[in-house]
Structures are given as structure tokens and as C-alpha cells.
Amino acid sequence: MKKGIHPDYHQVVFQDSSTGFKFLSGSTKTSDETIEWEDGKTYPLIRVEISSDSHPFYTGKQKFTQADGAVDRFNKKYGFSNN
């Protein structure tokens, strides 16, 4: 591999903004924010909107209300009924 063309790969902490869940992983992302991890070391902190802790696929708490609402609006608009 050529020297100097690859980004710096290092340990960072990702935090789910909606649940507060944190995990340590390797990444090329950087951040000005830092956090002290369980091992006593300080790592860059990357905030994410969704992770395995909050994603419906992993939590099993899927929301179907938006799809149901769209179907109901369609049926109401075009005169279809469920009877």
C-alpha cells in the first residue's frame, strides 16, 4: 500500500442521540467532542441519529401507523371501503 493516501483509522465512541446507547468501534470519522470510555481512555465522540439500539429492525418495535394512514387516505379519497 502507498503511504500517506489512506485516512487515519482509530477508535471512536458512537452515541445514539435518541437512546443514549454508546459503543466503541474503529472508524476514520473524527470529532472535536471527546468522551472518557469505560477503560479510562478518552476517545472522539460521534453522535448518530439511529443505531441498533433504536432501529425498529433490531428492537422489534416497528411502526406501521404511517403506512396505514396512507392507505386510509387513499381509500377515503377514491371512495373505497373495507366492507
Is 31 in contact with 50 (CB distance < 8 Å)? Answer: no
What φ, ψ does residue 61 adopt, rounded to 5°?
-110, 70
The pLDDT tens digits of the residues spanning 60-69 come to 665 544 556 6
pTM of the predicted model over 0.75: no
User: Pairing relation of β-strands 42-48 and 22-27?
Assistant: unpaired
Indicate the residue type of 32: D
Alpha carbons 66 and 72: distance in angstroms, whole number: 10
The pLDDT tens digits of the residues spanning 35-74 come to 999 999 999 999 998 887 877 666 666 554 455 667 777 7
Is 33 in contact with 44 (CB distance < 8 Å)? Answer: yes
What φ, ψ does residue 59 adopt, rounded to 5°?
-85, -20
